[in-house]
Chain A
Amino acid sequence: MGEPAGPLADLRVLEIADEKGAYCGKLLAANGADVVKIEPPWGDKSRTYGPFVHDQPHPERSLHFWHYNVNKRGITLDLRTPEGGEIFRRLVATADMLVDATPLDFLRQYHLHYEALQPLNPRLIMVSITPFGQTGPYRHYKTSDLVHLALGGQMAICGYDPDASGHYDTPPIAPQMWHAYHMASHYAFLGLLGALCYRDRSGEGQFIDVSIHEACCSNTEMSMPFFMYNELEVLRQTNRHAFPYITQPLSHRARDGYYVWAGITPGPVGMRKAARFLVAVGAAPPEVLARFADDAWADSLEARQLLTSYIQTYVAAHTAEEVYHAAQAHDLPWGVVRRPEDNLADPQFQARGGFVPIAHEGLGELPYTTAPWLSATTPWRLWRRAPTLGEHNEEIYGGELGMTAATLQRLRAAGVI
């Protein structure tokens, strides 16, 4: 292809995963691994998740499925059938990694769990992503993205300010959009890669048990140290950090209706920087700077309140993008609360190749988000749309496992593939 291959281009990965683990497979595929997604002959459940092309629900029109399965090849296989299990074992023998997000004990039931597979391929690194992990009293409990974000601690710290009396009249908010499974898939990927580095030295594979619950629990920042070390709970507040007390607002509505997140680094230095900016743009009187010269005052609640009122007025008189660029020119870490699609036209993301066009029959090229990091040596690459159901059956079963057309025909008729 002339372009550098990804860092994982030497790896073959099998994936049996719905929304809980598909993103892990995508991360592997974006880094060059040959990821083969194994779906049941009736299709993975996540093909039924929206949004759909032109809002027409259909297994081949799920934009969710497309985003999470780009770059992968796809085959069908009913693992519950004896012959399906046999074919799976043959595939496992060719694989470096297995990404599994089937329900707890599903594979064991068909004798396809790690201990049964390991003798076929001692180098195999297998990760199982389950709601609560392989052990513990909750391991059979049923969950969802929302339920995980509740149990994990995200919801308790996301939402809106309480009223003046401290009472919450709005519920905790789940920042949904499948983030519970992003967190789990991120850890699964990290686990696989750590185990790969170990295998590079030792030749030995291993099994990794990822708990989605724990992945979420480990992703709530300062709420945990506040309780672990001070037994203090934090309070959720509108679009800013939950904290042991209610802080000044940081999100302000701009003239164009967008919000700006206008945070100030704690301490007098950050406060002075914001004050100087506000004076420079004419949003605060120059004489205010003299007051901010005093460290103790600059760090006071009164100073924060004063700055907040200037910022509110300033932001309301400008567009959010104007505020963003003006503030950043003064080294303030402010940002527009953009809609995701606003970024399609963003020059920074364009300069860094944040969107890659992928061709879809009948729809032309669609922009896929990519490249969280840039590397000239082993870049992220997306080049192939998500597979249609069983798209690579012939290529893999025929071409790679050497099955005849007649065998494939029979397996298809028997519902094995």
Chain B
Amino acid sequence: MLPAQPPRLLAGIRIIDLTWILVGAGATRLLASMGAEVIRIEPTEARRVDLARYVPPFIPDTPGPPEDPFGTAYSVEERFDRAGYYFNINTGKRGIRLNLETPEGKALFRRLVALGDVVTENFSAGTMEKWGFGYPQLRAIKPDIIYVQMSGLGNSGPQRHYISYGPTAQALSGLSYQSGLPEPYPPAGWGYSYLDHTGAYYGAMAVLCALHHRHRTGEGQYIDLSQTGVGLVLTGTAILDAVVNGRPTTRTGNRSPYRAAAPHGVYPCQGEDRWCAIAVFDDEEWQALCRAMANPPWTARPEYATLEGRLQHQDRLDAELASWTRQYPAEEVMQRLQAHGVRAGVVQTAADKVRRDPQLQARGYFVPVRHSRFGLLPVEGIPMRFSRTPMHPGGPIQRGAPRWGEDNDYVYRQLLGLSEAQVAEYRAKGII
């Protein structure tokens, strides 16, 4: 493997980062992996620290499944160091402690903003104003500051004070309703915070757009991002369908609602809860599928020869196809079908992705970064390769996520020029 090269797409950009959990912190992860110096500010009071430092999984001392997966025996500080979800999201960032409730803490924050290009946060609406750091105040400190605020429903409108996690935003925006088997099944929704990931992308996009604008004009700006608004944008086709055709949204399971296809779904394979997805859009692809299966007798039914016929008899077709896939491991079904040019893919679990995905392995998808206490640990990589200036999850500092307050010395002594005695005093007073 090539030695890692620190990323430099955003070299020289400094982000004063007050984000937490995923929707905010994911945005600055992307920016750090582009080479921005991200300084993550965390509270000095343990109980106010990012929820992501409290939740499992916890990094064990020895690899493998831990005896106590939920870390019930760990002290709070031990949890902060070991939090794996946090480690994966905050890689490449620096981290400091700062108590923004105190006058001294506010003064330090002002000095940091003056050195920053971007301020990011995802508190509930009104939090920054309460501390005296709304956009007008930030701008008074640094006239061209870019201030990106990421909240659940946005910082304007009658429901600006409502709070939302990923699943809330997925529900409200309509994305959860669209996922699942037809009535009478309830919505299946999303088994994770899709709109935390995706909200984070838009947070990073907004920063990048604003950086380009600042480059052209010298102007900073205030950006008010709404996580539910991100979800809404992704439902546009369903909105048009409802307005133009008067059609209420319905769920279609794993069938293909907008591009005619049959068979189209997941098919059970050998073993417990193992599946392979198969998508056949036209008759040529159907014939390829038949060849890949060595033409079992049922494939000869004349009604299956055309897409229209297959769509009409989808239930029976699905059952017959399942009777074939059931005989083989999911990986074998995928490889046999792909060898014949049929669109097929294993329903991969996390273990499949980490251990059994030759494509991810060949592309070096999982990247080791250094935890200051536990050494090299893998994090999820970047789904793009740059010909000139690669991204890297280790960021400009080529390190994993910070321990709580790990970079206090770098920031307070080196950047702000505080003396050792001042740092010790602030530390003792619970300011940093």
A237 to B198, CA, bound (A): 21
B240 at the interface (CB under 8 A from A): yes
A266, B55: Cβ atoms closer than 8 Å: yes
A126 to B190, CA, bound (A): 33
A242 at the interface (CB under 8 A from B): yes
A133, B173: Cβ atoms closer than 8 Å: no
Among B166, B177, B239, B343, contact of A367 (Cβ-Cβ < 8 Å): B239
Return the chain A residue nearest B251 by Cβ: A173
Given contacts A171-B265, A176-B254, A241-B167, A229 and B57 within 8 Å (CB-CB): yes
B248, A339: Cβ atoms closer than 8 Å: yes
**Per-residue 0/1 for A219-263: is the Cβ within 8 Å of any B Cβ (1 yes, 0 no)?**
111111111111111101111111010000011010000011101
B57, A225: Cβ atoms closer than 8 Å: yes
B159, A211: Cβ atoms closer than 8 Å: no
Interface segment out of the listed A51-59, A85-93, A274-282, A387-395: A51-59
Q: Find residues 355-370 in chain B having any chain A CB closer than 8 Å to their own CB.
A: 357-360, 362-363, 365-366
Interface segment out of the listed B96-104, B295-303, B381-389, B412-420: B381-389
* A228 CB to nearest B CB, Å: 5
Which residues on the B side are within 8 Å of A331 (C-beta)?
163
B69, A232: Cβ atoms closer than 8 Å: yes
Which residues on the A side are within 8 Å of B204 (C-beta)?
190
* B61 CB to nearest A CB, Å: 12
Q: Find residues 88-143 in chain A having any chain B CB closer than 8 Å to their own CB.
A: 114, 127, 132-139, 141-143
A188 to B162, CA, bound (A): 32
Which residues on the A side are within 8 Å of B379 (C-beta)?
228
Which residues on the B side are within 8 Å of A137 (C-beta)?
358-359, 362
Interface segment out of the listed A71-79, A149-157, A304-312, A403-411: A149-157
A402 at the interface (CB under 8 A from B): no
A397 at the interface (CB under 8 A from B): no
* B163 CB to nearest A CB, Å: 5
* B64 CB to nearest A CB, Å: 6
B224, A373: Cβ atoms closer than 8 Å: yes
Given contacts A173-B254, A239-B186, A220 and B192 within 8 Å (CB-CB): yes
Interface centre among B66, B345, B384, B391 (most CB of A within 10 A): B384
Which residues on the A side are within 8 Å of B256 (C-beta)?
146, 176
B168 at the interface (CB under 8 A from A): yes
Which residues on the A side are within 8 Å of B385 (C-beta)?
133-134, 208-209
A267 at the interface (CB under 8 A from B): yes
A229, B212: Cβ atoms closer than 8 Å: no
B383, A63: Cβ atoms closer than 8 Å: no
B209, A7: Cβ atoms closer than 8 Å: yes
Which residues on the B side are within 8 Å of A349 (C-beta)?
228-229, 232
A378, B213: Cβ atoms closer than 8 Å: yes
* A154 CB to nearest B CB, Å: 8
A316 at the interface (CB under 8 A from B): no
B30 at the interface (CB under 8 A from A): yes
B244 at the interface (CB under 8 A from A): yes
**Per-residue 0/1 for A31-62: is the Cβ within 8 Å of any B Cβ (1 yes, 0 no)?**
10000000000000000111101110000000
A187 to B160, CA, bound (A): 28
Given contacts A142-B343, A209-B384, A241-B191, A230 and B60 within 8 Å (CB-CB): yes
Among A232, A338, A366, A371, contact of B240 (Cβ-Cβ < 8 Å): A366
B237 at the interface (CB under 8 A from A): yes
A337, B253: Cβ atoms closer than 8 Å: no
Interface segment out of the listed B37-45, B126-134, B271-279, B307-315: B271-279
A153 to B158, CA, bound (A): 37
**Per-residue 0/1 for B1-39: is the Cβ within 8 Å of any A Cβ (1 yes, 0 no)?**
000000011111100000000100000001000100000
Q: Size class of A's contact patch?
A: 35 or more
B238, A341: Cβ atoms closer than 8 Å: yes
Among B59, B188, B348, contact of A229 (Cβ-Cβ < 8 Å): B59
Q: Find residues 166-196 in chain A having any chain B CB closer than 8 Å to their own CB.
A: 167-168, 170-179, 182-184, 186-191, 193-196
A196, B159: Cβ atoms closer than 8 Å: no
A87 to B174, CA, bound (A): 43
B384, A153: Cβ atoms closer than 8 Å: no
A221 to B342, CA, bound (A): 29
A64 at the interface (CB under 8 A from B): yes
A373, B360: Cβ atoms closer than 8 Å: no
A147 at the interface (CB under 8 A from B): yes
Which residues on the A side are within 8 Å of B254 (C-beta)?
146, 171, 173-174, 176
B189, A214: Cβ atoms closer than 8 Å: no
Given contacts A186-B198, A261-B168, A223 and B350 within 8 Å (CB-CB): yes
Which residues on the B side are within 8 Å of A172 (C-beta)?
266, 275, 347
A342 at the interface (CB under 8 A from B): yes
B179, A51: Cβ atoms closer than 8 Å: no
Interface centre among A207, A344, A354 (most CB of B within 10 A): A354
B270 at the interface (CB under 8 A from A): no
A352 at the interface (CB under 8 A from B): yes
A8 at the interface (CB under 8 A from B): yes
B172, A177: Cβ atoms closer than 8 Å: no
Given contacts A150-B266, A156-B347, A351-B156, A215 and B9 within 8 Å (CB-CB): no
Given contacts A198-B9, A348-B153, A370-B233, A215 and B383 within 8 Å (CB-CB): yes
* A230 CB to nearest B CB, Å: 4
A215 to B201, CA, bound (A): 11
* B258 CB to nearest A CB, Å: 5
B226 at the interface (CB under 8 A from A): yes
Which residues on the A side are within 8 Å of B348 (C-beta)?
150-153, 156
Among A230, A237, A267, contact of B56 (Cβ-Cβ < 8 Å): A230
Which residues on the A side are within 8 Å of B346 (C-beta)?
150-151
Which residues on the B side are within 8 Å of A206 (C-beta)?
386-389
B172, A352: Cβ atoms closer than 8 Å: no
Q: Find residues 381-421 in chain B having any chain A CB closer than 8 Å to their own CB.
A: 381-389, 391
B224, A194: Cβ atoms closer than 8 Å: no
A232 to B381, CA, bound (A): 20
Return the chain A residue nearest B349 by Cβ: A156
Which residues on the B side are within 8 Å of A159 (C-beta)?
180, 188, 191
B205, A177: Cβ atoms closer than 8 Å: no
Interface centre among A114, A158, A220, A266 (most CB of B within 10 A): A220
B108 at the interface (CB under 8 A from A): no
**Per-residue 0/1 for A351-387: is the Cβ within 8 Å of any B Cβ (1 yes, 0 no)?**
1101100000001001111111111111000000000
A177 to B251, CA, bound (A): 10
A240, B189: Cβ atoms closer than 8 Å: yes
B123 at the interface (CB under 8 A from A): no
B253, A173: Cβ atoms closer than 8 Å: yes
Given contacts A177-B234, A197-B211, A210-B383, A352 and B229 within 8 Å (CB-CB): yes
A400 at the interface (CB under 8 A from B): no
Further 7 A-B residue pairs, CB within 8 A, beyond A134-B385, A230-B66: A50-B260, A51-B258, A143-B343, A182-B234, A183-B198, A214-B382, A225-B85
Q: Nearest 10 A-B pairs (CB), nearest first?
A: A340-B174, A214-B383, A239-B189, A351-B157, A341-B242, A150-B277, A227-B350, A193-B208, A175-B179, A340-B235
Sample 14 A-B pairs with CB under 8 A, ordered by A number: A10-B216, A50-B259, A155-B277, A171-B268, A173-B254, A177-B258, A186-B205, A189-B205, A214-B384, A217-B360, A227-B349, A337-B176, A369-B239, A371-B229
